[in-house]
Amino acid sequence: MSGTNDKEYGEGNYKASRQYNDATKKFVESGRVDEAARDAAPKTEAEASDMRRAEAEGKQHAKEEDPALRRGERSQEDARGKPVTDRSPDATKTPKPGQ
């Protein structure tokens, strides 16, 4: 692989990221989210049990859980969906090399 297409793959795949974000935004704005959630709901108790088991297994692999979930709150997010911290703007600056 060379030159211009290097950013088409891997973590730096900006084109795919942009396409995904655009498609997600379009889907949310379409008003079909509730319908899709109902369609994805378990149809039987066995399916619900499988989903709970899979969720529990996934949580075992997680580093930590958002404490707001235990309090029944949603974590705050910025416009890009990134978690908002309580740190001051000065504390969130990217350090310069050697710092």
Residue ranges covered by each domain of the chain: 14-62
3-state secondary structure the chain: CCHHHHHHCHHHCHHHHHHHHHHHHHHHHHCCHHHHHHHHCCCCHHHHHHHHHHHHHHHHHCCCCCHHHHCCCCCCECCCCCECCCCCHHHHCCCCCCC
pLDDT, position 27 = 94
pLDDT digits (tens, 9 = 90+) for 60-97: 887 777 777 777 655 566 666 666 665 555 555 666 66
Crossing angle for the helix pair 14-30 and 33-40, to the nearest 10 degrees: 90
The predicted-structure confidence for 7-60, as pLDDT tens digits, reads as follows: 566 667 888 889 999 999 999 999 999 999 999 999 999 999 999 999 999 888
